[in-house]
Amino acid sequence: MQTEPSPGTLPAREHLPAGHAGTPVLDVVIPVYNEEKDLRPCVLRLHEHLSRTFPYAFRITVADNASTDATPMVAARLAAELPEVRSYRLEQKGRGRALRTVWSASDAPVLAYMDVDLSTDLNALLPLVAPLISGHSDLAIGSRLARSSRVVRGAKREFISRTYNLILRGSLQARFSDAQCGFKAIRRDVAQVLLPLVEDTGWFFDTEMLVLAERAGLRIHEVPVDWVDDPNSTVHIVKTATDDLKGVWRVGRALATGSLALDRLARPFGDDPRDREISGVPKGLARQLVGFCVVGALSTLFYLVLYSGFRTFSGSQVANALALLVSAVANTAANRRLTFGVRGRGGAVRHQAQGLVVFGIGLVLTSGSLAALNAATAEPAHATELAVLIVANLAATVLRFLLFRAWVFPDRHDASPSTVVASHVPAAPTGPGPTAAGPASPVYATAPQQSAYGTGTSPYGTGDSSYRTGDSSYDHQTWGDATMRMQPVRPTDHDPRDAR
């Protein structure tokens, strides 16, 4: 699977123009599975709301996830009745698969989705997409956990939702408040680059997309919503929770090993005010100091626990050396990833070797302090030993930070390119899908169409308003395997260690 290379990274965010009449600015996707009863009132209500309140042209796309009831026929009738409604049929289940496939085919510059039960009050739709239209944000989500949100749901779902978001905060350092609310939007230019990195095709799709976007430094706008639980929801809570936890583990491991090419999501240098250099202030110093202090405090506690344990069967000098060695390895690894933002395994052995040299300097300081204490007192109390070691470790910590910043993880300012960023534009689909008809998977309405936001092939055209794909091959062939041409940039323009 290949994608066509293209120069540059994500473009700078700009306000989207209204465009020509009939060209949709917003495409709202409603993924459904066996929703023959709720689909029609949902679409009619959403259509009426958008017609009355939304100032831009819009489209509503029903994405049918292999329904076995009359849902496809209901969707087809709605598409025939309302010119702004389209239907899409997938032969495989999976909400993430449906969103990826429809979003990849859409020509609208703003893409959104909501659940068919319309649990979220539609008055939040315009505030959701407005920051994307204006160019202020890259993604937007509805939040049921914001202070001003008004939510009606049972204690069980409330507990599950809050627990899940706490897990995301603790394991993936997520800062957004509500990952599971079925009310989200994304700019199409961001989706083109972000979605190839998202592996999940089910309920974890939203969370994975948000985590990767946040780690890449994209701006996520949160909208407090009014939300009423649907008691007839068909979500299998246990299976969904299990799949979500597996997804958290997979994404966490990928982020820890640096196997995700998040650099391709970078905006042009200078688009972010944090890119601006201020004379006399080293870039990233404040963030590095905070990270180093947190890691240092945890490392000190770890060191003291190890020292107390080793002290039960060895002398003070041996216990100090062993405890300092183990904690130094852990400290170097933590500072490498969390403080200085170095990802991947490249240079890890060299960094640990340099860290051991720094460890040796700390060993001299702490061992010398213990030797001075033993010379002053024949049998010092254990509490006194710990107090002396804390003071010595504080001095060693200051020295360690200076050496880490200047020697182990220095800022590179040499003239030769030392890092690359990547970008791509999805290639046109090469297999059966919304732009190519196949004998096993007929596709309708695929006429080329000129868009106000670029030239391309519209999946909707001017004829019939429904189309179908027989499998998920379009999904994979459109986005490919994230292969692209890598382009060097100036080291001063982009530093992968300067995580946002």
Tell me, letter by letter, the H, E, C secondary structure of the chain: CCCCECCCCCCCCCCCCCCCCCCCCEEEEEEECCCCCCHHHHHHHHHHHHHHHCCCCEEEEEEEECCCCCHHHHHHHHHHHCCCEEEEEECCCCHHHHHHHHHHHCCCCEEEEECCCCCECHHHHHHHHHHHHHCCCCEEEEECCCCCCEEECCHHHHHHHHHHHHHHHHHHCCCCCCCCCCEEEEEHHHHHHHHHHCCCCCCCHHHHHHHHHHHCCCCEEEEECEEECCCCCCCCHHHHHHHHHHHHHHHHHHHHHCCCCHHHHCCCCCCCHHHCCCCCCCCCHHHHHHHHHHHHHHHHHHHHHHHHHHHCCCCHHHHHHHHHHHHHHHHHHHHHHHHCCCCCCCCHHHHHHHHHHHHHHHHHHHHHHHHHHHHHCCCCCHHHHHHHHHHHHHHHHHHHHHHHHHHHCCCCCCCCCCEEEECECCCCCCCCECCECCCCCCCCCCCCEEECCEEECCCCCCCCCEEEECCCHHHHHHHCCCCCCEEEECCCCCCCCCCC
pLDDT score for 495: 40
Instruction: Give the pLDDT confidence score for residue 21 in this predicted structure.
Output: 54
pLDDT for the residue 295:
86
With a cut of 70, list the residues of the chain below it in pLDDT.
1-9, 18-22, 231-237, 263-264, 266-284, 411-500
